[in-house]
Amino acid sequence: MVFNFVFGKFLALTLPAPPVHSRLYRPLLTAGVITLGLAIAWLPVKTTGCLLGGAVILMLLLRYPILSLYLLIPLIPFSSLLAVTLAGFRVGLMEAILVLGLTAWLLQLSMSQHYPSLFPPGRPLGSAAPLRWPFLIFLGCVSLSWLNTLSIGASLVETVKWFEMLALYLLVIALLPAQHFKWVVATILLTGMAQAVLGLYQFIFKIGPEGFLLFGGRFLRAYGAFAQPNPYAGYLGLGLPLALAVAIWGFSHFGQRNQSTGVATRVLVVAMLGAPFLLMLAALFASQSRAAWLGFAIAALVTLIALSKKPAATLAILVLLGAVIFLSSAIDLGMSESGADEQGTPYSAVIQRFADALAIASISDISTLEVTDANFATIERLAHWQAAREMWRDHPWLGVGFGNYAVIYPVYAVGRWLNPLGHAHNYLLNIGAETGLVGISGYLIFWISTFGVTWLAVCRSSGFERAVAAGGLGILVHLHLHNLFDNLYVQGMYLHVAIILALISIVYANAKTRKRLVND
């Protein structure tokens, strides 16, 4: 009786009672208890614990679908590690949590007594989700490339990514309570800080492949949970502008407004808000990713300009930041004299990496270059650019099929570069080759609309919301600059981008609502 009462109350808290005759409840509950008892008795302890834990998470998600967001954020960096291949598709815990969250949300909508509404009352649909139509326009454009696709499976994988982004975008906007806004931002920054600590540990203690060794073997390129330094640096770049904006907001907020707060408390709070930025910045240097360095440098500039209303103050901050980066990167880091003579300081190594890339990029005929350990990665990237350009030239309107770059690549391979690597290392060329002018037009429409909404969110908001919008603007800048040399829509980072877009849209919607109330 006690079990029936407790179980019935728990069901009432999650979902309305199913349309089953009351006389069937007792047999169903009895069968459930027997099944659970047999599972506990026969299955290994770890398996039983996982099943029980999964059942608890499932019940909580059914009651609170927004919890899926808090689970997804820390899972994103580990998405490739927590996945298996089924029928040629990579499916993992991240996808499972997303599906459960979306299913719970839709079940709640379907069981509501009134006509289901995707968005909270009083928040107009256009204001709440201003990017819904740009999403659909882009998906409609790239879907036309299916007419030319050679591998339907590859096209399906890439298309599903963007549908997942749209679904998560709508879920966050629809379910995120106002009081949870700061908690979501804090979860993003803590996850980035954890990845930064992991990367710095790898950098200092040389935990990783021998091919990642740096500075005469004294250190190792950080790669976090991403297996490769470049996507790891891309992930850090998708969080650093937000960390920078929140740190500046915290310094301004607790340094000026809360004068009644003790000095020690203010210093502690500012230090806690600045720690994610400093750790992630150090980890970004440890990744030795030139594309990420360039992307973040410009993203930081955009973020600071968006935050500051005084150009002189912005310029002073930039000069100070540049001086700090210059001095910190010029430190010898304890290298021996022989190592310094051979490899140079970290600062000289950074400059040399950029100089090598610029020198090689200015050469038009890649096949004539002599390949060395120093220029291997750059020449390989340029070879893939050339292959993508040739694909686009042969299929100008609809491309070779969304997600089919790697499938078609052997036909367009340049010289010795026979490995397709999955993408063209330049997303604009990649999507042009895969979806043609139609697809890249939809892509540009989507992102031009997104930058417009983001800029309006920055201009119309204030306080913490303005910091989030400015940080989001910097993240979008980093995304597109880094995508000129890579593809960051991989390893779950596309869901990270969707969450950032949702936060920006919430700031935009709140600002629009406040403006309407003032006018009324």
Confidence of residue 115 (pLDDT cuts 50, 70, 90): very low
Say which residue, 417 or 152, is predicted with more confidence. Answer: 152
Q: Determine the pLDDT at residue 52.
A: 73
Q: In 442-455, which positions are buried (b, 16+ CB within 10 angstroms) versus exposed (e)? A: bbeebbebbeebbb
Confidence of residue 467 (pLDDT cuts 50, 70, 90): very high
Is a pLDDT exceeding 90 seen at residue 160?
yes
Mean pLDDT, range 483-490, rounded to an integer: 93
The domain spans of the chain are 1-60, 125-258+273-362+375-519
Is a pLDDT exceeding 90 seen at residue 414?
no
The H-assigned helical ranges of 206-336 are: 229-237, 240-252, 263-287, 290-307, 311-329
Say which residue, 244 or 333, is predicted with more confidence. Answer: 244
Mean pLDDT, range 171-178, rounded to an integer: 92
Say which residue, 127 or 216, is predicted with more confidence. Answer: 216
Is a pLDDT exceeding 60 seen at residue 329?
no
User: Crossing angle of helices 376-394/405-412, nearest 10°?
Assistant: 100
Mean pLDDT, range 227-240, rounded to an integer: 95
User: Crossing angle of helices 376-394/427-460, nearest 10°?
Assistant: 90
Enumerate the β-bridge partners of residue 84. 91
Is a pLDDT exceeding 70 seen at residue 120?
no
Q: Is the separation of the CB atoms in 509 and 458 below 8 Å? A: no
Which H or E run contains 109? helix 93-110
**DSSP secondary structure code for residue 16 in this structure:** P
Is a pLDDT exceeding 90 seen at residue 108?
no
Q: Determine the pLDDT at residue 417.
A: 80
**Separation in Å, CA 351 to CA 300, 319, 344, 358:** 19, 19, 10, 11
In a 10 Å sphere around its CB, with 0-12 CB exposed, 13-18 middle and 19+ buried, how is residue 48 labelled? middle
Mean pLDDT, range 111-116, rounded to an integer: 56
Q: What is the pTM of this model?
A: 0.85
pLDDT in tens, 370-401: 666 666 777 888 888 889 999 999 999 999 99
Q: Determine the pLDDT at residue 340.
A: 41
Phi/psi of residue 221, nearest 5 degrees: -60, 130
Mean pLDDT for the chain?
81
Confidence of residue 365 (pLDDT cuts 50, 70, 90): low
Q: Residue type for 388, please?
A: A
Q: Determine the pLDDT at residue 34.
A: 79
Q: Where are the beta strands (DSSP E) in 44-96?
A: 83-86, 89-92
pLDDT in tens, 270-306: 778 889 999 999 999 999 998 999 999 999 989 998 9
* Percent of the chain whose predicted confidence (pLDDT) is above 90: 52
